[in-house]
Amino acid sequence: METVDRGPRASWSESLGADGGHASELDAARVAMFGTAWERVSLGVRALRRLFRDPDDTTQVLLAGLALSAPFFPALLARIERSAEGRRILAEAPTIDSHTVDFEHLRTLPATTLGGAYARYLEDNGLDPDLFQPPPGLPPAPRFIAQRMRQTHDVWHVLTGYRPDIAGELALQGFTFAQLRMPTSLFIATLGTALRAPGEARRVLDGYRRGREAAFLPVIRFEDHWERPLEEVRRELSVRSARA
């Protein structure tokens, strides 16, 4: 019997299984690039269901983001490319991790500076700056953008004042949707609030409003602002701290 080569789609679609329980980031990247709309939605919904069952399973956020937001990446890339700051970010492709950022120095900065507040935020919450690596299997531009959004997520926490608990994460997702216009943030903010924290609906809506008021943060090279007063950076970027 002749063996038929069904190309790259067969390997990942079959590997997901009936419930998608073993999807990896590479699987999600292949679905994002080669999958049908139904396959992207199916993988994304499965990841969101697991996330809502276990909010600490951040891997599911990454999988859902790749699967559900892929069609919206060209629009985000175009927005970034419109400004000189955005073109610089894309050209330099900076990373925020222990290989490129002197966290020992940041810890010596006052807590009232962006860098000092960021270093203390990571330390106080037991967060690893090396956790978020670029997703495999994507072209260079979306690969960098995905990593940049992951690595600046905690900087956004510091800027907005949202804590890394369920209420704070949901509010930041509202803020993030206003900034990026990606469906993953919308689904997490709305469905997550309805299922996990219905009493936080006003705060999540306020997060969305704050995100609309703020400057477009994906083009900001935060590394250039570590030593500046946090409140000064907030004013410059029109980010009102929620202090929550």
Average of pLDDT values for 21-25? 78
Residue 17 has pLDDT above 60, yes or no: no
Q: What is the pLDDT of residue 243?
A: 62
| Structural domain includes residue 213 | yes
Average of pLDDT values for 59-82? 95
Residue 11 has pLDDT above 60, yes or no: no
| Structural domain includes residue 40 | no
Spatial contact of 226 and 87, defined as CB atoms under 8 Å apart: no
| Structural domain includes residue 86 | yes
Provide the number of structural domains found in the chain: 1
Percent of the chain with pLDDT over 90: 87
| Structural domain includes residue 84 | yes
| Structural domain includes residue 57 | no
Sign of CA dihedral 93, 180, 124, 194: negative
Residue 38 has pLDDT above 90, yes or no: yes
Rounded Cα distance, 105 and 229, in Å: 15
DSSP 31: H
Q: What is the pLDDT of residue 73?
A: 94
| Structural domain includes residue 58 | no
- Judged by DSSP in three states, 24 sits in coil
Q: What is the pLDDT of residue 9?
A: 47
> In the structure, what pLDDT confidence band is assigned to residue 2 with cuts at 50, 70 and 90?
very low
Q: What is the pLDDT of residue 167?
A: 96
pLDDT, tens only, 137-184: 999 999 999 999 999 999 999 999 999 999 999 999 999 999 999 999
Rounded Cα distance, 215 and 239, in Å: 8
pLDDT, tens only, 106-139: 999 999 999 999 999 999 999 999 999 899 999 9
Q: What is the pLDDT of residue 22?
A: 66
Average of pLDDT values for 62-91? 96
Residue 235 has pLDDT above 90, yes or no: yes
Q: What is the pLDDT of residue 23?
A: 87
| Structural domain includes residue 9 | no
Average of pLDDT values for 213-236? 98
| Structural domain includes residue 31 | no
Q: Which domain holds residue 81?
A: 69-237
* Dihedral angle of Cα 93, 219, 181, 65, to the nearest 10 degrees: 20
> Across the chain, what does the average pLDDT equal?
91
**DSSP secondary structure string for all residues of 100-151:** TS-HHHHHHS-TTBHHHHHHHHHHHTT--TTS-PPPTTS-HHHHHHHHHHHH
Interaxial angle between packed helices 153-160 and 166-180, expressed in degrees from 0 to 180 and rounded to the nearest 10:
100
Rounded Cα distance, 179 and 148, in Å: 14
Specify the higher pLDDT residue, 212 or 1.
212
